[in-house]
Amino acid sequence: MKIIKLNATNSTNSFLKELGQDTALENFTIVVTNEQKKGRGQQDSQWVSEPFKNLTFSVFTNEFDLEIRHQKYLNFAISLALFNTLSSHKIPNLSIKWPNDILSANKKICGILIENNIKGPKINSSIIGVGLNVNQERFLDSLNNVSSLKNICNLEFDLDLLLLEIIKNLKKTIHLLLLNEYLKLETDYLNALYKKNIPAMFKDKNGLLFMGKIIGVSKYGSLQLELEDETIKEFGVKEISFL
């Protein structure tokens, strides 16, 4: 394991990708920064983080030899590593909001961005970007559905120790991929999934409102909803949102 600490960078994922173009990266090479100026979330959404208050880091891993058709299990493994770490700190009402946001109650505290390098039918390596709200206390007024560990627990967290705990758990869950423990990963992920089997109102990308309940994740990683007429429909990332 190699940890590279930066005072500031535009994006830790981009930094690792550029580094990998010039040198062979060691498995579990980690880049962590005090200030991320242009953090990215799912599908080019922005991740805003107050400098020196939070964990913004990326991890390179090529430990697994995973077929593309099993890609969802990588997402499960990474999400569970964050979920398990925060569970050990007794963060209340934790859940994973599909595909990989971590919530406390209905407040987002962590976002994950996974970028895979694919060769043939397999994922050759991945860069895992994590933004975890830790000691930040104030957020933009427009971000009314986010929080931090400090706001939730009224405690200051040691960023360095928390990072090492996350990496330790990430190694454990990714090792489950090597052991082909797909059923365990899926069971644990679905047990932690936000609003699973609870009827809720959703909005699709065209603004249409509808009722449904989350029942699972398809073999290709899409979210499965059971609609009011008991039909099952699948949705990709950003195709629907909770109302």
Residues 112 and 59 in one domain: yes
| CATH classification of the domain holding 47 | 3.30.930.10
- Nearest alpha carbon to residue 105 among 88, 86, 79, 118: 86
Element spanning 12, H or E: helix 12-22
Judge if 68 and 174 occupy the same domain: yes
Same domain, 235 and 152: no
Average pLDDT over residues 96-107: 97
150, 174, 192 - which closes a domain: 192
Query: If DSSP codes are grouped into helix, strand and coil, which group holds residue 101?
Result: strand
High-pLDDT (> 70) share of the chain, %:
96
pLDDT above 90 covers a percentage of the chain that reads 88
**pLDDT for residue 39:** 62
User: Which of 4-13, 61-70, 87-96, 177-186 has the weakest average pLDDT?
Assistant: 61-70
d(Cα 170, Cα 8) in Å, to the nearest integer? 24
Contact yes or no for 21/45 (Cβ under 8 A): no
Same structural domain, 95 and 118: yes
Q: How far apart are CA 167 and CA 151, in angstroms?
A: 23
Please tell me the distance from the alpha carbon of residue 184 to that of residue 142, in angstroms, as a whole number: 38
Asked whether 147 and 104 are in contact (CB, 8 A), the reply is: yes
Q: 230 and 167, same structural domain?
A: no
> What average pLDDT does the structure give for the chain?
94
d(CA 243, CA 226) in angstroms, rounded, equals 16
> Is the same domain home to 112 and 210?
no
Domain count, the chain: 2
In sign, the C-alpha dihedral spanning 156, 139, 81, 242 is positive
Which pair of tokens denotes residue 92? 């209340």
Q: Kindly give, in sequence order, each residue whose CB lies less than 8 Å from that of residue 175, ignoring residues fewer than 6 positions away.
A: 63
Give pLDDT tens digits for 141-166. Answer: 777 899 999 999 999 999 999 999 99
> Do residues 227 and 184 both lie within one domain?
no
pLDDT at 44: 52
Ranges of H-type helices in 68-220: 71-88, 149-153, 159-178, 182-192
Residues 113 and 20 in one domain: yes
Task: Say whether both 55 and 117 belong to one domain.
Answer: yes
Residue with tokens 């805003």: 48
Q: What tokens appear for 18 in the block?
A: 């550029």
Q: List the one residue out of 81, 84, 79 whose CA is nearest residue 96.
A: 79
Range of the structural domain that residue 111 is part of: 2-192
Residue 141 burial class via C-beta count within 10 angstroms: exposed 0-12, middle 13-18, buried 19 and up: exposed
Bigger pLDDT: 163 vs 243: 163
Task: Judge contact between 47 and 41, C-beta under 8 A.
Answer: yes
Per-residue pLDDT at 43: 46
pLDDT of residue 38: 73
Q: Tell me the average pLDDT across 126-130.
A: 97
We report the CATH number of the domain holding residue 231 as: 2.30.30
The verdict on 188 and 205 lying in the same domain is no
| 38-52, 124-138, 225-239: least confident range | 38-52
Pair 233, 132 in one domain = no
The number of CA neighbours under 13 Å toward the Cβ of 235 is: 23
User: Residue range 45-55: average pLDDT?
Assistant: 81
Same domain, 105 and 82: yes
Average pLDDT over residues 33-46: 69
